[in-house]
A = this chain, B = another copy of it.
Amino acid sequence: MISERLKPLMANNSAVRQMFEEGNKLRAKYGRENVFDFSVGNPDAPTPPEIGQAIKDIVDETPAIELHGYMSNAGYEDVRETVAQHINKLQGTDFGKNNIIMTVGAASALNIALKTILNPGEEVVIFSPYFLEYNWYVMNYDGVVVPCETDENFMPDLERFEAAITEKTRAVLINSPHNPTGVIYSEEVIRGIASVMDRKQKEYGRAIFLIADEPYRELAYDGIEVPYVTKYYDNTFVVYSYSKSLSLPGERIGYLVIPSEMEDSELVFDTATAVNRIMGCVNAPAIQQKLIGRCIDSQVNVDYYDRNRKTLYGGLTDLGFECIMPQGAFYLMVKSPVEDAAEFCEAAKKYNILMVNGKSFMAPGYVRLAYCVSYETIVNSMEAFKKLAAEYGL
């Protein structure tokens, strides 16, 4: 009954569902507070308090027929201008409303960018490990993902990167701060990527797009700067979501940046806007757009995640686990003490600890812990991790 193309998706889907159901079973049996679920990247930091008031003000101050009606498929012009000016203020860019398309979150913005540019069979290079849902976004438009292995610090290896680009390469998709590793690409790394791509564009005589997926942009710790990619490479799309920075992933609001420096920028903008329409979103939801227009300076308290990061990293390394200290986002990679990380995940379940096998991100031998949970969960999980460590003789 379903499309042949989706059969592999549904095979994988049952695995995810199984994990979710196992979590529910554990919670039912032992109580929510006794299950240490690090498996899901669902932001837990409190939504800034002004958000609720802003929604009520919008309803009170905007005539209903205007508030809830259609606007341009790219979004409200004033909201797009506010977003553009906000980026300009922070990044020294020069965007205007015609560089911004409001979207149904980052996942939708990624789909729009990919549909806008991909021809069947064209390749998208992605540094591994990576969020495997990208595979589906690329396949939606008959593109082919070319994974490019990173170095031992999960940083791009420029030689391998250059070798991965072929005349079929249409785009390179990067994600910094990074899920699942927590690394942030420095200015030097971005310059390196841009320089390889510039060279390859010239060699093949056609555009290669850089797509920067940045839903974790604000979640950067220890004062580390996240470079703004459009400043280093012209043919760049930036994909953003307010899911993490405002803790409202269910509201589906984000945007796509198409800088004027991109070749044929206006045509690409108009096409991406039309794609937003024909893919069925039509436009980002109206109230959520207005909300961003009003709360452009709002942000969750990053210290909330930073405390979790330090406590979890410190606790686990003290117990003898080998961890990658995350610079950003809210994920921690822990090296499996045995070769098969699946076995390690299974063992953890005995102590009500839920974590994801790194294989789900092309990071074999690791597990991913999402620390976007309450601080109490982290503190209380330490006894359980202690038992797990003991089991492996750590």
Contacts and interface: CB of A to CB of B under 8 A. Distances in A.
A42 B13 contact: no
A3 interface: yes
A136 interface: yes
Interface stretch (A156-164, A224-232, A265-273, A321-329): A265-273
A338 interface: no
A274 interface: yes
Name the residue among A9, A277, A285, A287 with the largest chain B CB count within 10 angstroms: A285
| Number of identical monomers bound together in the oligomeric complex | 2
Contacts of A65: 44, 46-47, 247
Given A110-B280, A133-B278, A136-B278, A251 B285 contact: yes
Contacts of A277: 107, 133
A252 B2 contact: no
B2 A267 contact: yes
Contact of A69 (B4, B10, B250, B278): B250
Contacts of A55: 55-56, 59, 287
Contact of A117 (B1, B60, B69, B274): B1
Contacts of A67: 250
Interface string A55-80: 11001100011011111000000000
A68 B287 contact: no
Contacts of A10: 267, 270-271, 274
Contacts of A274: 6, 9-10, 13
Contacts of A60: 52, 56
Interface string A104-134: 1101111110011111000000000000010
Interface string A247-270: 111111100000000111001101
A202 interface: no
A267 B17 CA distance: 13
Contact of A64 (B47, B56, B108, B118): B47
A149 to B, nearest CB: 24
Chain A interface mostly:
helix
Contact of A251 (B103, B253, B279, B287): B287
A256 to B, nearest CB: 11
B140 A278 contact: yes
A114 to B, nearest CB: 9
A25 B343 CA distance: 68
A51 interface: yes
A281 interface: yes
Nearest to A69: B250
Nearest to A170: B3
A282 interface: yes
B111 A279 contact: yes
Interface of A: 1-6, 9-10, 13, 42-44, 46-47, 49, 51-52, 55-56, 59-60, 64-65, 67-71, 103-105, 107-112, 115-119, 133, 136-137, 140-141, 207, 246-253, 262-264, 267-268, 270-271, 274-275, 277-288
Given A1-B264, A9-B274, 4 more contacts: A1-B117, A70-B249, A104-B282, A104-B285
7 contacts: A10-B271, A47-B64, A47-B68, A70-B249, A108-B280, A137-B278, A252-B283
Q: Which 10 A-B pairs have the closest CB atoms?
A: A250-B286, A108-B280, A68-B248, A111-B280, A47-B64, A107-B280, A136-B278, A1-B264, A285-B285, A2-B271
